[in-house]
Structure 1
Amino acid sequence: MRLSLFFALLFAGLVQAAEPIAIDVHRDANCGCCKDWIKHLEDNGFTVNDHVEADMTAVKQRLGVPPRLASCHTGVINGQFVEGHVPAADILKLRQRPELLGAAVPGMPVGSPGMEMGDRKDAYQVIGLDKSGAETVISEYPGR
């Protein structure tokens, strides 16, 4: 009995709950898909600081999001931008890529997180942007 209690206490000390990952999300007040993307993040362990903005263009310019990578909402995590419907798993990948200014899913592809609409799924890429302005594909998602 004592030995099992020892192992239970040892195991309890080694296992700790994962810390939630905080992300700031800037969005327009009237955007429904932005709220759906925020729910996707929360469902995947993120803590979201939701900022309703009057001028999203100014937010994107301040964060260095080029117009060609733009979407409807912009997140910020560890100083990097997260533009559009980037899946939570790719935000975790971005955290391991300090050479990137951020990552984006340009436009609003159907089937990306927050843009689910039935069975339709558009193909899309998650694109990273480095400090020189060069783009790199972080992930690709096939359509169907």
Structure 2
Amino acid sequence: MPRKHLLTFALLAISGLAQAAETIDVYRDPSCGCCKAWIKHLSDNGFTVNDHVEPNMSAVKQRLGVAPRLASCHTGVINGKFVEGHVPAEQVRLLAERDDLKGVAVPGMPMGSPGMEMGDRKDAYQVIGVTNAGLDTVVAQY
């Protein structure tokens, strides 16, 4: 195979792997508008989103191991890890690099977080990582 074609093939293969790693399943209540806005935020930031309308979000959160103290309105799953609430896309992406975490969460629905933009108001909030041992750790502050 000529070198030029080999390089092109390698780049396409790497690109395909990157795209596969950027797919997230999002579970949301059928009537939630901010969930749709968060999905748009992820899509605008290069994620492929599989949108699942779920009438019983409590069961989804329980199945995925999301503690009630971390709950928000929607729950994502990427590479077997949970993403709870209005987590910025950059933190979703960084989750893949954290083998010590089983998920991240933005508890509640802070104004100004992705999907919760309303005018100029921006509340301070934290992205909480949940370690494989079940401990909370702050991974980012906004």
What range describes the TM-score normalised by the shorter chain of this pair?
0.7 to 0.9
* Cα displacement (A) at 1:131: 2.2
Alignment partner, residue 68 of structure 1: 69
Quote the Cα distance in structure 2 between the aligned partners of 1:26 and 1:85: 13
Q: Deviations over 1:49-96 (max 9, x none)?
A: 000001000000000000000000000000000000000000111110
Output one character per residue of 1:101-134: Cα deviation in whole Å (capped at 9) or x when no partner: 1000000000000000000000000000012221
Regions of 4+ moved over 4 Å: 14-18
Look up the SS of the partner of 2:137 in the other structure: strand
How far apart, in 1, do the equivalents of 2:54 and 2:44 lie? 23
Gaps of 5+ in 2: none
Cα-Cα RMSD: 2.0
Please give the alpha-carbon distance, in whole angstroms, between the structure 2 residues aligned to 1:58 and 1:131.
Answer: 21
Q: State yes or no: 1:135 paired with 2:136.
A: yes
TM-score calculated relative to the size of structure 1: 0.86
Q: Percent identity?
A: 67
Equivalent position of 1:80 in the other structure: 81
Alignment of 1:103-114 (within 5 A): 103-114=104-115
Question: Which has the larger Rg?
Answer: 1
Deviation at 1:15, TM superposition (A): 5.6
1:33 equivalent in alignment to 2:34: yes
Q: Which residue of 1 aligns with 2:97?
A: 96
1:98 partner letter: D
Amino acid at match of 1:29: P
Within a 5 Å distance, the mapping from 1:22-61 to structure 2 comes to 22-61=23-62
TM-score, structure 2 normalization:
0.88
Q: How many residues align?
A: 135
Distance 2:100 2:92 in 1: 14
